[in-house]
Amino acid sequence: MRVTYTNIVYSRHCGSRDIHDLLTAAAGVSRWSKIILRDINGALVSISPTMPVNNEDTAYSVESSTPENGEANDEILQGVLSHVAEQVTKAFRINEMKEEMVSRLTAMEKKIEREGMKTVEIGQCRKELNYIREELFAAKSHHARFCKCAAPIADSVENRIVSKRDVPKYSKYTLSNETIEYLKKPTFDIWHWESNEMLCLLEHMYHELGLVEEYNMNPITLKRFLLCVQENYRNNPFHNFRHCFCVSQMMYGMIHLCGLQKIYNLFDLGILLTAAVCHDLDHPGFNNTYQINARTELAIRYNDVSPLENHHCAVAFKILSNPECNIFANVTSEQFRIIRQRIIMLILATDMARHSEILEKFKSQIKAGFNFKDTEHLTYLNMAVIKCCDISNEVRPMEVSEPWVDCLLEEYFNQSDREKMEGLPFAPFMDRDKVTKPSAQIGFIKFVLIPLFESVAQIFDVLNDCMIVPLKAALQKYEDMKDEEKLK
């Protein structure tokens, strides 16, 4: 019998069953198997969130009374062992960080105690002290419980901290007239810009549209808001800050391209752009299907109803609850109620599980005669527009759109690999052994993208040349690639 050690990290809100499932998954047995936990003296340990914190020298042992198929599947065990090594490395890094933080904290405290220190220096030191204490607290909050088996540890989304910065950290960029005009076009190449430049371009969008004046925003607050948004996008292959910028730039482009300034007031445009900026905040890189099947904290919290989209909304308004980042601080209570209601509605509309429902309703309104004065009609138009922006990559030139396919497939493959390791159902279109670029894109373009964009183009016919034509060209390109694959 092979034995390995690792640490299990879980939220204090976890239930006993959740911890039990971690242990069964780690042991490679059915989640319904009976699990027994013992300490180093052989005494039984109750499986619960309050079980004592231990260490490698006093690791608990995990026993299963009903092993599945005798020994754990080698493939599953290999995945567990790989994850164990990763988690042990993380544990050592946390310990190193804690030691470094303690050292820095001690040095700073001694510095403040020195006589003759200038007031300005003391103020600066106190700021640094607060920052160090926050880092130290974050490191200490990772309580480890060591066991002889462990399941893959899910990211603790609820413990994500919304970052705050006292002053903007990115430089002032001067945008050329060519860049300013290029930013309004769907052909904009988002790969040529680094993070600080993307922040600057987002800031420009708010100023150019007149939203800073409309909402009476403090320009420094806008900078802090965008910085905080950036910090709360994870480094996923696809759902990252560049994707956020990509969707926001397409929204900005559609506002100009479709002349939405003539249909909406600035108050409405601010809601559309901000919803695009916040639409995937703190995305963990695993979709709703995984959240629900794995019974993650997000799925439990939101009762399996759009768990990710609900979380994106929650993080967005957590950021806005910080006065230093609240770009809507100067609106009335009634206006903020409307802003919150509409941003939530728009972000929830990006759940692809609702795609058919939203599109069919929108089509029925167009068929009956779309009315720009009808509130319900405008609501579905807004949802259709943000959906277009969210999945608009194939509208862009091939050299811009194709790298996004690679990013998306990498994220899909990461998920299916994890689902296989955890014994969960996995979608064929995410299986690295079956999917190719053409097979991934042909059906999506033909049955999702083109019907959606053609519907919106019935209201804004300018989209036919600049979006429908590129979509059909992309479809033909992938069909040609598929034919070439068959010939090989």
Tokens of 41: 């003296």
Per-residue burial over 73-112, b if 16 or more Cβ lie within 10 Å, else e, is eeebbebbeebbeebbebbeebeeebeebeebbeebeeee
239 is catalytic: yes
Residue 238 Cα distances to 301, 302, 312, 403, 414, angstroms = 25, 24, 16, 10, 11
Residue 307 — very low, low, confident or very high, per pLDDT cuts 50/70/90? very high
- Residue closest to 422 by CA, chosen among 90, 79, 147: 79
Active-site residue, selected from the candidate residues 239, 283, 311, 377? 239
Per-residue pLDDT averaged across 334-344, rounded? 98
Evaluate if residue 80 carries a pLDDT over 90.
no
- 279 is annotated as contributing to ligand binding: yes
For residue 465, the 8-state DSSP code is I
Residue 382 Cα distances to 174, 210, 219, angstroms = 32, 20, 27
Evaluate if residue 167 carries a pLDDT over 60.
no
- 165 is annotated as contributing to ligand binding: no
Condensed to tens digits (0 to 9), the pLDDT of residues 458-473 reads 999 999 999 999 999 9
- 429 is annotated as contributing to ligand binding: no
What is the reported pLDDT for 168?
A: 53
- Global pTM exceeds 0.75: no
Residue 35 — very low, low, confident or very high, per pLDDT cuts 50/70/90? confident
| CATH 1.10.1300.10 residue spans of the chain | 179-487
- 240 is annotated as contributing to ligand binding: yes
CA angle 268, 329, 161 (to 5 degrees): 100
Indicate the helix (H) or strand (E) that contains 12.
none
- Compute the distance between CA of residue 431 and CA of residue 417 in angstroms, rounded to an integer: 8
Q: Which fold has domain 179-487?
A: Catalytic domain of cyclic nucleotide phosphodiesterase 4b2b (1.10.1300)
The percent of residues in the chain predicted with pLDDT above 70, rounded, is 73
Strands 35-38 and 6-8: unpaired
